[in-house]
Structure 1
Amino acid sequence: MKNVKSSFKYIFLSIISIISILPFIWMLIGMTNESVDVSKGSLIPGTQLLQNMQNLFNSDLNFATSLWNSAKISIITTILALIVASFAGYGFEIYRNKARDRVFNILLLSMMIPFAALMIPLFKMFSTFKVFGLNTAAAVIIPSISTAFLIFFFRQNTKSFPKDILEAGRIDGLNEFQIFTRIYVPTMKSTYAAAAIITFMSSWNNYMWPLIALQSPENRTVPLIISTMGSSYSPDYGMIMAGIVIATLPTAIVFFLMQKHFVAGMLGSVKG
């Protein structure tokens, strides 16, 4: 009976795995086919890979520029978000006062506000800025630097941080900034890795706000370009598949390179 249950479990998981991975397989095969074959749902690899790649990078969509724009915005956003959120999460957990929990509760309440409700205020605010106004990378980066979720994530992981190390550092004469940079950051690297993956993937795939903030074609990011390709009068699905595969690679590479730290960070580990 135990063997039957085990066999059924593996069969069920295998079926779910195949169903989950099938769209990615179809996407990889689609980038090698002509548009008409992709429309038919062909699962046979074709010979149009180089042609689709050539059409993608030689089109008027500036796909290569959009890759650079997405990479620049995502990397800068991730670095700044980790700095701000880790400082805030560390401060909320380590330094105790009467107003701390009230401020943190208000911060958590902000997570319940849908982004659709913030778009108009953000647009009006950035439209008044001259240096960091609309149609600049800063307009996309600044709203993503400090997020309630990331601050909450760092605070929750800081709860498992050994406080005795802090006291030892203070006894050794380290100031608070030195304790943070020399003790906290190295100890919490799994948390930083998990937060970096979440932030990078979110920034790379961000669509709604860049669509509003980035109005010039040369400033558009990858999701905007792919959306433009799909909304044309006669979409070239082979080229679209090639673009989607290339757009997926950075997030996939970041995740697989850091997945061990990601799992440890999500579980609240502070081990190196």
Structure 2
Amino acid sequence: MTKKRNKSMIQRRLIPTYIFLIICSLISVFPLYWMIAAATNESLAVARGSITFGNQLAVNFEHLKNAVQGTLWSSMGNSFFYSIVQTIFTLFVCSIAGYGFELYHDKGKDRLFGILLLAMMVPAVATMVPLYGLISKAKLLNSVWAFILPGISTPFMIMMFRQNSRNFPPDIMEAARIDGLPEWKIFFKMYVPIQKSIYAAAAVITFMNAWNAYMWPKVVMSDNRAQTMPMFIANISSGYTVDYGMTMLGVLFCSVPTMFVFFVLQKQFAEGITGSVK
């Protein structure tokens, strides 16, 4: 009886906490709900602040396709292609860099890593002009390489992999070296499987950043055939009159892939961020 009473008392004490968390959850989810509801309404209803579902979803979708002359699906395909390629290259390059910074011993590696971290203090806008000059001289404009090259190796991702590499058991590496296993096999057959949670977390972050990128693709992608989804939505809104319902439908199309990726990998994402290794 005493245990039941204590349990009931604890549950009663947690009621205000649950109420507070429910309110915070509703506030967080409301923008997503409003975006979905606005995509089904006319522009005037959206401007008036309507939060109920309308019957204009099919009409807005037809307008969405016609307004940009059929570039919706090509923009979606470009965003998928660019984001996936950048995610693969970033995981490969940054994981090798983080692995080397943590598990190989050298006197100058900490100084080099400190210089690398200083690059995080430089705004991306400050490097945009020289990067554009390099990409232009290399004749890579309107290509996937123009999109992914500046983001393949980032100080944040290298630091993230280095911090998680500290959980990699060094005894396993030493035993593998004694057995004559090459360094590349140690990396791919032992390090990568153990660090799969951090790979999932890094994949989510990289994919979302690449998918939502707007400024850099706008600079290097002048051809409409190479435009991405954020550029597509910006083109919808650029006019004398803005159809808010159609714009919100475009935003919904742009948001669904990143939400899907996050929900699929949310468990691994949490494990990778906290630095846990299984």
Q: What is the correspondence of 1:164-175 to structure 2 with a 5 Å cutoff?
A: 164-175=171-182
| Structure 2, gaps ≥5 residues long | 1-8
Q: 1:35 aligns with which of 22, 31, 43?
A: 43
Which amino acid in 1 is paired with 2:42? E
TM-score, structure 1 as length reference: 0.95
Q: Counterpart of 1:68? A: 77
C-alpha separation in 2, matches of 1:205 and 1:6:
39
| Structure 1, gaps ≥5 residues long | none
Q: Counterpart of 1:160? A: 167
1:202-221: per-residue Cα shift (whole Å, max 9, x none)? 00001111111111111111
Q: Counterpart of 2:105? A: 96
Count, aligned residues: 269
Contact 2:41/2:53, CA 8 A, preserved across alignment: yes
Report deviation, 1:201.
Answer: 0.3
C-alpha separation in 1, matches of 2:16 and 2:23:
11
Q: Counterpart of 2:117? A: 108
C-alpha separation in 2, matches of 1:52 and 1:265:
40
Report deviation, 1:6.
Answer: 2.4
* Pair 1:267-2:274 in alignment: yes
Report deviation, 1:153.
Answer: 0.3
1:153-208: per-residue Cα shift (whole Å, max 9, x none)? 00000001111111121122211000001000011000100000000000000111
Considering only CA atoms, is the larger Rg found in Structure 1 or Structure 2?
2
Q: What is the correspondence of 1:142-157 to structure 2 with a 5 Å cutoff?
A: 142-157=149-164
Report deviation, 1:40.
Answer: 1.0
Contact 2:68/2:236, CA 8 A, preserved across alignment: no
Q: 2:89 aligns with which of 66, 80, 87?
A: 80
* Pair 1:54-2:62 in alignment: yes
Report deviation, 1:248.
Answer: 0.6
Specify whether residues 168 and 215 from structure 1 end up closer, same or farther in structure 2 by C-alpha distance, changes over 3 A only: same
Q: Counterpart of 1:122? A: 131
C-alpha separation in 1, matches of 2:149 and 2:133:
14
C-alpha separation in 1, matches of 2:68 and 2:209:
27
TM-score, structure 2 as length reference: 0.93
Q: What is the correspondence of 1:189-268 to structure 2 with a 5 Å cutoff?
A: 189-268=196-275
Runs of 4+ with deviation above 3 angstroms: 1-5
C-alpha separation in 2, matches of 1:63 and 1:38:
22
C-alpha separation in 1, matches of 2:18 and 2:238:
41
Q: 2:18 aligns with which of 6, 10, 33?
A: 10
C-alpha separation in 2, matches of 1:192 and 1:2:
39
Which amino acid in 1 is paired with 2:72? F
Report deviation, 1:13.
Answer: 1.7
Which amino acid in 1 is paired with 2:16? F
Contact 2:67/2:236, CA 8 A, preserved across alignment: no
The two structures, once aligned, show a CA RMSD in angstroms of 1.4
C-alpha separation in 2, matches of 1:32 and 1:203:
28
1:204-255: per-residue Cα shift (whole Å, max 9, x none)? 0011111111111111111111122123211111111111111111111111
